[in-house]
Amino acid sequence: MDTALQRSGELKQALIDFVLDAEGELAIALEKFSAAQLSRSQQADMNQRSLVVERFVIEEKVNDQTPLDLFLATDPDLTESDRALMQHWHRSFVGLFAIVQILPNGFELMNWTTAQHYIVRATDAAALEKMARLKEGEIILAQIAPITEQEWIFFSSWTSLGKLGKPKLAVAIGNFRQNYKKHLYSDAPDLLEEAWKSVEQYHQDFIDFFGSNEVTLPGYQLNQKLAEFQQVMTEQRLQAAGWDGSQSLGELAEQADISPDELDEVAETMGIDRTAMTAALRQKQPPKMAAPQVELPAHLKKAEQVTVLTHPRCGQVFLTTYEQFKAGLTIAEPQTVAMDKLVRQYLEDPEIPAFVWYHLAEHHPTSLETCLRTVLQRSDFNLEIDLKPLLEEFNKSLETELPDIASVPLHLHNLFQDAIMEVSKDKKKKTKKTAQGF
């Protein structure tokens, strides 16, 4: 085993021991981080618990310093080469990797969310032996860390998901997006920047179309308007790609060797209109990112009233009781059972993000402050000073995470669309077999 790899393993274990043996603020921070991360998952096996600690030493901060920084600052026995090696670990990240190639003492991996490739080594012979059963094409979840500019090590235990077809791979990537949002494009700053720009652009497009960042309509009507909004955005992208409308969609399809009937069938399978299908046909140079489909969640389409709020960083949220909440703020003494229930729902429901409260505070500051004083029985509650601590008290994340409306890299967009078509074809085959059986 290479000396640098062996030393990396020793230093990593010393870092983990330092964190696990710590007391005071560092121990409290680890406990909170572990509780927050493990509560997001239905499974909490030993690999996952270890991954939480390994993430903690790189990600979390205690008094503006990561545990790695604290270790480097407090261990006097570290050599300059040790310190230089460990400084690389600030770039450590969690990824969903495909095994591209098996190497003599490691692997070539591809991070599925960014399509970046890495040469990754095990830090000891025992770990490498455990990985001997892994095969090319398998998908693994792991944290990796660099030890040089070109070479990386496994910084955590790995979890194999096996070889996955496109539908299951799309599901795995969707789960990864929910559980590891911070790591989605952490090794590709250009993709992350494009994704954030797409959120800001969506917000501006929404305001241009609807005239406001707050819209309330019956569910069915809002769904129709969102479809119109999607159509407008698609046409704008087509125009940006150079389509001036002089060619029909059928002509564009013919140029791409796709019949009009096939175009209709694929568009129907994907759940989008034919205009959206032609965006990829028309663009001479494919973009880095592709916008997701904009649609009202199915359970809200029949709702009597739905409010959608958008934010240039936080994305969008759909609420069925927002107008009721606003109406309650107009009551002189908002201590009704209904208002009490709404306030607590908006504080306790993890699906209602913090930016909803800041939106209310911006537009209804005085009445919201009065309401919270009454409902929470905190007569000295000051909205400007106490709102942030209140949201933290109810575990509202104040750190902005990349929202679901962000555009995704083109290779992921294509994977998701291929997965949808594959599932649709399988359903058609099963339906046909069933019909023949009867």
Structure tokens at 329: 């703020």
Query: pLDDT at position 244, please?
Result: 54
Residue 286 neighbours by CB distance under 10 Å: 14
Rounded to whole angstroms, what are the CA distances from 167 to 171, 273, 295, 371, 415? 6, 22, 21, 48, 8
More confident residue, 137 or 427: 137
pLDDT over threshold 50, residue 326: yes
Element of type H or E holding 180: none
Rounded to whole angstroms, what are the CA distances from 192 to 83, 187, 197, 404, 418? 29, 9, 9, 13, 23
Query: pLDDT at position 330, please?
Result: 79
Query: Over pLDDT 70: what percentage of the chain?
Result: 82
Q: Taking the CA of residue 221 as centre, how many other CA atoms within 13 Å lie in the half-sphere pointing to its CB?
A: 9
The backbone region for 32, taken as left when phi is positive above 0, alpha when psi lies in -120 to 50, beta otherwise, is: alpha
Residue 266's SS3 state is helix
Segment 352-401, tens digit of pLDDT: 999 999 999 999 999 999 999 988 999 999 999 999 999 999 988 888 88
DSSP-derived secondary structure letter, 285? S
Residue 410's SS3 state is helix
Rounded to whole angstroms, the Cα distance separating 325 from 309 reads 14
Segment 237-291, tens digit of pLDDT: 766 655 555 555 555 555 555 555 555 554 444 444 445 445 444 444 445 677 7
Q: Model-level pTM greater than 0.85?
A: no
Query: pLDDT at position 280, please?
Result: 46
Rounded to whole angstroms, the Cα distance separating 435 from 152 reads 54
The CATH superfamily label for domain 3-183 reads: Nucleic acid-binding proteins (2.40.50.140)
Query: pLDDT at position 21, please?
Result: 93
Rounded to whole angstroms, the Cα distance separating 137 from 214 reads 46
pLDDT over threshold 80, residue 408: yes
Mean per-residue pLDDT over the chain, rounded: 84
Mean pLDDT of 203-226: 95
Structure tokens at 391: 């949201």
Nearest 5°: phi and psi at 221? -75, -40
pLDDT over threshold 80, residue 335: no
Query: pLDDT at position 337, please?
Result: 76
Residue 58's SS3 state is helix
- Give the start-to-end residue ranges of the domains of the chain: 3-183, 190-296+407-437
Query: pLDDT at position 105, please?
Result: 83
Residue 385's SS3 state is helix
Q: Where residue 334 falls among pLDDT bands split at 50, 70, 90? A: low
Query: pLDDT at position 40, please?
Result: 58
More confident residue, 312 or 124: 312
Mean pLDDT of 64-70: 94
pLDDT over threshold 80, residue 158: yes
Query: pLDDT at position 41, please?
Result: 53
Rounded to whole angstroms, the Cα distance separating 427 from 438 reads 17
Segment 4-21, tens digit of pLDDT: 888 999 999 999 999 999
Which amino acid would we find at residue 79? T
Q: Under a CB-based contact definition with an 8 Å cutoff, are residues 421 and 270 in contact?
A: yes
Rounded to whole angstroms, what are the CA distances from 386 to 366, 379, 389, 391? 14, 12, 5, 9
Query: pLDDT at position 430, please?
Result: 59
Which amino acid would we find at residue 157? S
Tokens 């409260």 — which residue? 357
Rounded to whole angstroms, the Cα distance separating 366 from 380 reads 13
The backbone region for 208, taken as left when phi is positive above 0, alpha when psi lies in -120 to 50, beta otherwise, is: alpha
Query: pLDDT at position 255, please?
Result: 58
Lowest mean pLDDT among 101-115, 204-218, 256-270, 313-327: 256-270
Lowest mean pLDDT among 52-61, 224-233, 274-283: 274-283
Which amino acid would we find at residue 77? D
Structure tokens at 280: 């990829």
Q: Under a CB-based contact definition with an 8 Å cutoff, are residues 69 and 62 in contact?
A: no
Q: Where residue 130 falls among pLDDT bands split at 50, 70, 90? A: confident
